[in-house]
Structure 1
């Protein structure tokens, strides 16, 4: 199922590039899935890692994901799919709220995505400097609010001893990027 999810995501994201680089978009979902796999999550969560941006950023829908991968994977992807009809602030607040109230698997999917995004951002900042912020719909201050809010929301419903290590990596990277 994981190879099928990877191939589906590769086809769905074919030709897409990352916002702040010339990197093929598919490398992002692959890295998200790898983070989840290394942390020991079950196959459905890893598949959702590959597919997390498909319904949001391609011609494929959540129904397509359900048809190919079942309701469990679809529900995981749906938990992290933004409603593009809403404002940036509303979409990001929804993600923060989902991290605060979601199951550990939903938290893990979102944090793996945000961790990879921040790693990519940090790499691009090291190369290009502050100009990187121009590639985003919201600038530095908004991105700082969003990532710091996600980092704080991780703690809701989680003991420090029970959190996967990459949650701590994310919080540390937020601090390094925005302090």
Structure 2
């Protein structure tokens, strides 16, 4: 069950990301946030986890630590903690791509179960859209990503393997299967 708090978070996420589009596409970014939230709910997440699914990119993309403080004030410390655990940077200082991704991967073992759920749903939706775009437009899809083809393939395989080791189950298996499909389609 969701409450007015969830409704507020939905509106807040929409306002925060209103001008943002998906990487390399003219798709409003809210589509990603809604998809992640839906996956969180489908995989048993509670309202706090669903709200964190809506807001998981707010710190990185829409305000840094000011956004984190605002999220905590609006939705509480648990939601803010999940969002921070899902962020690979503070919105202001962004380390080099490979360093950032390696640090994110190594941090998965220490994430809370809450953040692992949101992270896995986020990465599953991203992988799903990568596969769809790969099938639709071909290998040029990798030009959208800093890691290009090889870096993106490395990162998603490492994510799938790390998340499966951290929290095995149907969600991790689905992510792994999706990454396998991307690897096959990218050959």
TM over 0.5: yes
Across the aligned residues of Structure 1 and Structure 2, the Cα RMSD in angstroms comes to 1.4
Match of 2:111 in 1: 102
Q: Deviation of residue 134 (structure 1)?
A: 0.9
Structure 2: which 5+ residue stretches go unaligned? none
Q: Deviation of residue 124 (structure 1)?
A: 1.2
TM-score under structure 1 length normalisation: 0.92
Does 2:95 correspond to 1:64? no
Structure with more relative contact order (C-alpha pairs < 8 Å, separation 6 or more) = 1
Structure 1: which 5+ residue stretches go unaligned? none
Q: Distance in 2 between matches of 1:115 and 1:141?
A: 19
Which of residues 10, 29, 33 is equivalent to 2:37? 33
Does 2:98 correspond to 1:89? yes
Alignment of 1:74-85 (within 5 A): 74-83=80-89, 84-85=93-94
Query: Which is helix-richer, 1 or 2?
Result: 2
Q: Deviation of residue 156 (structure 1)?
A: 2.9
Match of 1:173 in 2: 178
Match of 1:123 in 2: 132
TM-score under structure 2 length normalisation: 0.88
Q: Distance in 2 between matches of 1:125 and 1:176?
A: 10
Aligned residues: 175
